Structure 1
């Protein structure tokens, strides 16, 4: 039989089949068998969810067509990520190492009453393994091509039996980049030994987690979880689709040549502490509290133009400090009524500082329409402009105080019919600031048309400060009905309202801070959850319809020239979707899984502003970015005993994604902003002894070496010079795992 999945999505332990929410759950065993240690690989196995990581500093997370990846401190995320029940959705800090997890729960649709105001279209919740009252441990090691190395493990022991429990877990991962950057080598335009060794799209992560649980026989218990993560990774391969490297081509999968070499990269440090406490007031009444502090600082140097000239170089320093506290009173007497009421406080202060470095002799080619690079790879430097680079800087700051009151309850009307409803009231005090200091090195740009330079500006000036302080309120909620058709077949219907609060963020055309309307989402859903074949098969399926209002998107200003991108909050969108998830224990030695997702999402709105369908620079009638129409995954876990406690295991999987666009404007950049449909095959296999106490095997990822893109367009796309980021090629290695 399949192990029954117990979840806490509704703030109490329930079998997943009894929860009227479309959700996908993963056990730590499944994550290990499929080699999932990154968020983007996790999404390959979740219908309706796609995660593309340009880098650990910039994940684009899409749930049922809705994406968030804006790193500005003034911007509210649309898609929520949680760690142990705490919101960690800020994009520069939401990508975390996946190790020593109890489970992963992915909830689809608005979940504001359950997981907070940020869960507008769903949420991904990573739940860490808790300390246990036994002494045990695990280890895993991995080596492979591209100098791939990984070590992870955990150790658990009671300090005082049944009272004070301790657990520590960690992960170290490193891999060289798979895109060669020839900068610094003799054949490049910038030969410099210091800049060599700068291959792009690599990995460098060290993460550590310590947990201490106090579990007396009294009604009170508490667990303290402390997380630390340090990322030191090579640069992102924003390779130009227009200008080729010296002796190369514009394919995103071949070598690149950037102005910078080894200096490109990301350094990020993250700390968090979470105290999760529980007091059992009586057999039917309990009180829970989660208090959390979190901070991160991420610095990235990237070459946004993607070729060997100093045209669009940026340094970004993003930081955030947050504090949250949630308290909840819950009731469950086992009489058919269960629910909770609670309050939440959330504070965040974030800063994003961006420095731009431009050689105006190179930038002039954009205005004059002359080639940036000659046939010999030499950069074309237009005379008449200063030799020293033009440097400018912008800082945006956001400070947010949020207070929520919420409640949710379920009532078993009959033995088969259960009704559920919840509501959340939110109050936010938001302060945003945008600061553009005087130019450094103390000069204005040389261009007569200062609309192009400076890139950062406030109004018509080249420096200044703009600040706004506003308060917003809003209500979200859900209602659902579940009916048990049989003891192993549940049907449900639900309506939920999601909300992204009004935002204060800079307007692209002026860099002035403006108020943008709240985005709202009305979700209608119907689904089935079932268990067949005596518990050896589960099948979940759902259809849904989304009605999205005041959708923020970036469009070309219809009243001015190109290179004048503005934000509009008048967008409307609709999505029709279907998802199915099958898990089948065929025989004791064979487990099979498959899922499928269909997503038809379209942006609409005033064509006078958004332009007619299929018009470059406008989005009416276009699909949401990185939302494939079709996606599926299939795989199996085969375990064959071969005698004397030794078994052979084989874990094949295949994932498919139909065509995706990387911008809401599907026609942008001559079609290079899209990825045609593609499929990826992975295979892991080897031998294990003593029921998995020790396993030794190998793996191959992207076995057929398929070329695919992680992203396209990017900052360079706004200047008619789109860049592309290549996904990983075929990779292979060896692994050993054990537990004691």
Structure 2
């Protein structure tokens, strides 16, 4: 099942077919081209004697588990209470302290702390995946999927931490299109027994303003009824002309507990985002300026285009019960509804249109001429996710064992329509061939937006879908520690994927029903060489449904994924911790098309391999460092189109990394702290099989903060060098300018 809707995904075959149809009509070269919940069970900290430390930071307990400064001692990725150090998987956690020390303004900024993780640009409305290890990855909230990533996905008021599981998630996470590169699990804040309230506001460049509120209140004296509410509003402009974004999130949470092993947690979530749809910049004119140049901050659409709105509402329930010290159970469920209404004015190719019809007509277009279309996409989705698990813990001889048996179900309904019309009238010379008047991007003028209407004579229904995607499965998992130093993880998942697809924009309607069942293994082991150094290795497979396929009457078979990784884990003296890993990740049965054909075949293959490092060094209680680096070689290894063979995958820098340092002063300057760091990335390919790349870049950030009792004030700078750079933008393979130098001031009061 595709975690991105075919309508939402600008790289999907659905969008590509639409582009081909319009390209053929206009003579353009157009571009071709259910889920298992993660139960939020905290993993216990290492019980064996830790390695010697020098002035180690104090351990603080949070609602997501204990942390030591920037080092999280627990994570929620393995279903059972296993120390991260023992897991034969690469797991990275970004705790709240790091988020606050960096004065991060978005989840996308937070994700840059993790090696090989490429976030979705905050200016994009939704429907595309983040990338991890060069492949698509999934974003979950509290262990459950968020299909399409609609609503407001970047606000941070209710985020306790971000947990990243790298590689195919088959056993530990399974869902959506199925996580190939991995899973980013956003862990929400939960109620605590202590009463408090915090209010604050952040303001800065580009007319940025964002007030927020976090209230925690026990509702009875016994503290068995706990309530928490977090809310945030944000309004901001952008370095790009015209753009103004407004968004909010409201997150109430109620926990009912007997404080003796049984609890029920209910979470509500309402989020909304509004912004003009930004179509990005074509490669020709931006990163390729051989023919002409586009102003990098230009908004290449009618500035009065109606705003795009996207919203999400959900209710989540989690029940935990411990029968005794040996047996326990937990069940999670979520129901959500979401919608995107996206009017836009756009182009369909990175290439300008220039077609020589010969004498006497001459050339249609030129080196900077583009056909522009009005587009409306209206899509609605519902999602139901349920998982239930039973855990047993027991010792046998020299082994400590934990067994999990669980089942899960996820179903998504996806209904939507995409309608287009020509933004301009017919060309005065070539209109007899049905060709529209082109717009010269050297000095563009964009006509007023006209809303396309399904059924109108001047509109084209490019897609009209009524789909459902269903994932279900059963999992058996064993974790064993043998002679205290060898830690084994083995699991089998019996997975099923069912997809019902119908496309009503064609006559007769095109449809297929695809179903697949597989047994997916995961196996790995970690060995403690010393108390602070471990080596690990693991292998896993995944199942990935295909949600759009033009197979000449045949339904698609599922894609497969397989991953092999190994490395070193540190939890050593002088505050050094983290993971060094090598990985090799392959995606098989990828949908591809032969040149000139719209019929899909599944002979494609993609591979990503490389090295990554995620390290934290905290030599003293006052001084902390974070460093991450990834070297990724991600490319197409098999494809029907020779142009794509060995092509590097889009939007994946070969080398990227983050460094951050933070110092908390004492003595006369107690209460003051200073942090600074940088993010660097090499070039990224813009479109598959083409030579366009965004240049590499480096940006510097800093944050100066002062805290006195319950009052906090900070001044943060982003991109302090005002570096001008482009990033790959997931809108028909466009590019977008990075935000310029921005200064933010934040003030908050806790009561």
What are the residue-to-residue correspondences of 1:579-590 with 2, within 5 Å? 579-590=612-623
Is structure 2 residue 601 aligned with structure 1 residue 605?
Answer: no
What are the residue-to-residue correspondences of 1:666-677 with 2, within 5 Å? 666-667=690-691, 671=692, 674-677=693-696
Partner in structure 1 of residue 538 of structure 2: 494
TM-score (structure 2 length as normaliser): 0.80
Which of 101, 109, 116 lines up with 2:174 in the alignment?
A: 116
Number of residue pairs aligned between Structure 1 and Structure 2: 641
CA distance in 1, matches of 2:468, 2:275: 29
Deviation readout 1:478-526 (Å, 9 max, x if unpaired): 001111111121111101112212x24153xx9x876333221211111
- Pair 178,590 (structure 1): closer, same or farther in 2 beyond 3 Å: same
Is structure 2 residue 344 aligned with structure 1 residue 302?
Answer: yes
**CA RMSD for the aligned pairs?**
2.9
Deviation readout 1:319-359 (Å, 9 max, x if unpaired): 21011111000112366101201111111101231111114
CA distance in 2, matches of 1:144, 1:372: 36
**Residue 521 of structure 2 aligns to a residue in which SS?**
strand
- Pair 302,250 (structure 1): closer, same or farther in 2 beyond 3 Å: farther
- Pair 465,285 (structure 1): closer, same or farther in 2 beyond 3 Å: same
- Pair 504,14 (structure 1): closer, same or farther in 2 beyond 3 Å: closer
Which of 548, 551, 576 lines up with 1:505 in the alignment?
A: 548
Partner in structure 2 of residue 470 of structure 1: 514
Q: CA deviation at 1:207?
A: 0.2
Which of 704, 715, 720 lines up with 2:721 in the alignment?
A: 704
- Pair 18,379 (structure 1): closer, same or farther in 2 beyond 3 Å: closer
Partner in structure 2 of residue 142 of structure 1: 202
CA distance in 2, matches of 1:334, 1:269: 48
Deviation readout 1:341-386 (Å, 9 max, x if unpaired): 1111111101231111114515958987986439875689xxxxxx
- Pair 400,371 (structure 1): closer, same or farther in 2 beyond 3 Å: closer
What are the residue-to-residue correspondences of 1:565-644 with 2, within 5 Å? 567-605=600-638, 609-611=640-642, 618-641=643-666, 643=668
Deviation readout 1:604-626 (Å, 9 max, x if unpaired): 225xx221xxxxxx210111111
**Residue 52 of structure 1 aligns to a residue in which SS?**
coil
Q: CA deviation at 1:433?
A: 0.8
CA distance in 1, matches of 2:211, 2:436: 51
**Residue 516 of structure 1 aligns to a residue in which SS?**
coil
CA distance in 2, matches of 1:492, 1:376: 58
Q: CA deviation at 1:711?
A: 2.8
Deviation readout 1:171-211 (Å, 9 max, x if unpaired): 1111013212xxxxxxxxxxxxxxxxxx12x4311101010
CA distance in 2, matches of 1:331, 1:141: 46
Deviation readout 1:256-296 (Å, 9 max, x if unpaired): 352x2232432011101110001112211001100110111
Q: CA deviation at 1:223?
A: 0.3
Which of 288, 291, 294 lines up with 1:251 in the alignment?
A: 294
Deviation readout 1:676-725 (Å, 9 max, x if unpaired): 111111111132223xx32212111111122222335844x7xxxxx532
Partner in structure 2 of residue 361 of structure 1: 426
Is structure 2 residue 280 aligned with structure 1 residue 220?
Answer: no
- Pair 697,418 (structure 1): closer, same or farther in 2 beyond 3 Å: closer
What are the residue-to-residue correspondences of 1:38-53 with 2, within 5 Å? 38-53=106-121
Is structure 2 residue 159 aligned with structure 1 residue 159?
Answer: no
Partner in structure 1 of residue 707 of structure 2: 688
CA distance in 1, matches of 2:252, 2:571: 37
CA distance in 1, matches of 2:508, 2:153: 33
Which of 704, 723, 731 lines up with 2:742 in the alignment?
A: 731
Partner in structure 2 of residue 544 of structure 1: 583
CA distance in 2, matches of 1:11, 1:230: 31
Which is further off, 270-279 or 706-715? Answer: 706-715
**Residue 215 of structure 2 aligns to a residue in which SS?**
strand
**Residue 563 of structure 2 aligns to a residue in which SS?**
strand
Q: CA deviation at 1:662?
A: 2.5
Partner in structure 2 of residue 520 of structure 1: 560
Q: CA deviation at 1:427?
A: 2.0
CA distance in 2, matches of 1:730, 1:237: 23
CA distance in 1, matches of 2:488, 2:384: 34
Partner in structure 2 of residue 103 of structure 1: 161
- Pair 514,678 (structure 1): closer, same or farther in 2 beyond 3 Å: farther
- Pair 513,391 (structure 1): closer, same or farther in 2 beyond 3 Å: farther
**Residue 134 of structure 1 aligns to a residue in which SS?**
coil
- Pair 56,649 (structure 1): closer, same or farther in 2 beyond 3 Å: farther
What are the residue-to-residue correspondences of 1:1-20 with 2, within 5 Å? 1-2=56-57, 3=68, 5-20=73-88
Report if aligned partners of 2:80, 2:402 keep a CA contact under 8 Å in 1. no
Which of 332, 347, 350 lines up with 1:290 in the alignment?
A: 332
What are the residue-to-residue correspondences of 1:660-671 with 2, within 5 Å? 660-667=684-691, 671=692
Partner in structure 2 of residue 416 of structure 1: 485
Q: CA deviation at 1:474?
A: 2.0
TM-score (structure 1 length as normaliser): 0.81
Is structure 2 residue 326 aligned with structure 1 residue 266?
Answer: no
Report if aligned partners of 2:426, 2:437 keep a CA contact under 8 Å in 1. no
Report if aligned partners of 2:549, 2:591 keep a CA contact under 8 Å in 1. no
Unaligned runs of 5+ in 2: 1-55, 58-67, 287-291, 349-367, 448-455
Q: CA deviation at 1:655?
A: 0.6
**Residue 172 of structure 2 aligns to a residue in which SS?**
helix
Report if aligned partners of 1:598, 1:631 keep a CA contact under 8 Å in 2. yes
Q: CA deviation at 1:242?
A: 5.6
Which is further off, 309-318 or 646-655? Answer: 309-318
CA distance in 2, matches of 1:251, 1:376: 9
CA distance in 2, matches of 1:108, 1:678: 25
Report if aligned partners of 1:110, 1:120 keep a CA contact under 8 Å in 2. yes
Q: CA deviation at 1:99?
A: 2.3
Report if aligned partners of 1:211, 1:224 keep a CA contact under 8 Å in 2. yes
Deviation readout 1:569-620 (Å, 9 max, x if unpaired): 31122222111112111322211111111111221225xx221xxxxxx210
- Pair 551,35 (structure 1): closer, same or farther in 2 beyond 3 Å: farther
Structure ranking higher on relative contact order (CA contacts 8 Å, 6+ apart): 2
Partner in structure 2 of residue 83 of structure 1: 141
Partner in structure 2 of residue 325 of structure 1: 386
Unaligned runs of 5+ in 1: 68-78, 181-198, 381-387, 437-457, 612-617, 718-722
Report if aligned partners of 1:505, 1:513 keep a CA contact under 8 Å in 2. no
